[in-house]
Copies of this chain bind each other. A is one copy, B any other.
C-alpha cells in the first residue's frame, strides 16, 4: 500500500483499527453533517492562480505566539492516542518535535503530561484544558503543565456536555481496561464527562488567567460575537473549531466560520483553525483567509495508526510537500 495522500492513511486506519476505535475517532454528532461539511467547504473555495512568479525559493516557516514552527500545521488536541498506537501521545509528541511543529496535548490523553514532556524534551507543547466542576483539579492540571514547560493553554469552549455520537452509543464506547486517562489520576472515570462544568462562562477566563502566566488560547469559537468576547476577555489566540463536527451538528464549517472570525478580530490576536484539513492546498486556503496556522486532528490519528510516530511524520511531511507545491503553483 503506497501512502500518497492523507486519504490513504484514512483507508489504512479504517481497515486496521478495531471498529470501536475507528468509530470513536471518525464519529460526528447526530447525522455527521458538520463533520462532512468541514471537508466540503474547502472544496467550494477556488484559487485564482497567478503565473510567472519566481517560486524557486519559498519560506514556509512561521511563528505562533512567538514560537517558530517549520510550517503552519500543528497537531490538534484529540484524546486516547493509545487507541491508535501503543505508545500513544508519546509518539505524537516525538513526531511533532521531529517535524518541528506544535503539539496540543489533550486532557484526555492516555499518557500523563509528564510522560509527554519527557518523550520530546524541547518540543513545542501546548496543553488543552476543560474546566471541571472540581476547580482544584483544573488548577492542578494548569500548574503541572506550566511547570513542565508547556507554552500555551488551550481552553475548549464547546463541550459543556458531550455531543451525541450515535455509533459510540451503539458500541457502548469506553476505553479498554489497560488504558487510562492518566492526567486525571483517578479523579474521574473514563468518559464521565459529567464531571465537566456546564456553568462555565466568559468570566472564568479571568479565573484561569489568575492561575498561570501561560498564554490562553480559546478553542471552539465560530461566530464574530464570540470572537469579540474572546478578545475582550484577554485571550492570546483563538482556534476556530467545531470539535471536528463531534458536538453540535449543523453548525458552520470551520473554514467558513474562519472568515467571519478573522474579520471580527482584526489582527488583535492570532487566529487558527482546525477541522477538514486533508491536503496542502487546504492549508493554503486557510492561510489565505487569515489563519496563522492550522491544526490537524483525525489525520494525525491515522498517521499514528499507520506506524506510530513515523506514520505521523509521514502525514506531516506529505502535508508539508503539498503545501509548498500549492504555494508555488498558485504563485
Select which of B5, B51, B220, B328 is within 8 A of A51 by beta carbon. B220
Select which of B49, B169, B252, B328 is within 8 A of A46 by beta carbon. B252
| Chain B residues within 8 Å of A56, by CB | 160, 197-199
Residues of chain A from 220 to 263 with CB closer than 8 A to chain B in the complex: 220-223, 225-226, 229, 242, 247-252
Q: How far is the CB of A80 from chain B (nearest CB, A)?
A: 21
Chain B: CB-nearest residue to A326: B248
B47 near A251 (CB under 8 angstroms)? Answer: yes
* Interface pairs A-B: 10 shortest CB-CB: A56-B199, A248-B329, A51-B157, A56-B198, A54-B199, A47-B251, A49-B251, A4-B166, A4-B169, A52-B202
Chain B: CB-nearest residue to A156: B51
Interface residue tally on A, bucketed by range: 35 or more
The reply on A164 being an interface residue by CB < 8 A is yes
Mostly helix, strand, loop or mixed at chain A's interface?
loop
The reply on A161 being an interface residue by CB < 8 A is yes
Q: How far is the CB of A2 from chain B (nearest CB, A)?
A: 5
A200 near B54 (CB under 8 angstroms)? Answer: yes
A50 near B169 (CB under 8 angstroms)? Answer: no
A51 near B252 (CB under 8 angstroms)? Answer: no
Once bound together, how far apart are the Cα atoms of A247 and B325, in whole Å?
Answer: 9
The reply on A170 being an interface residue by CB < 8 A is yes
Binding site for B on A (CB under 8 A): 2, 4-5, 30-31, 33, 43, 45-56, 157-158, 160-161, 163-164, 166, 169-170, 197-202, 204-205, 218, 220-223, 225-226, 229, 242, 247-252, 279, 281, 321-322, 325-326, 328-330
| Chain B residues within 8 Å of A198, by CB | 54-56, 328
Select which of B199, B205, B252 is within 8 A of A55 by beta carbon. B199
Once bound together, how far apart are the Cα atoms of A124 and B73, in whole Å?
Answer: 50
B328 near A281 (CB under 8 angstroms)? Answer: no
Some 28 contacts from A to B, beta carbons below 8 A apart, are: A2-B169, A4-B166, A4-B169, A31-B43, A31-B279, A46-B251, A47-B252, A48-B252, A49-B222, A49-B223, A49-B251, A50-B225, A51-B157, A51-B218, A51-B220, A51-B222, A52-B200, A54-B199, A56-B197, A160-B329, A161-B325, A161-B328, A164-B322, A164-B325, A248-B326, A249-B279, A250-B281, A251-B330
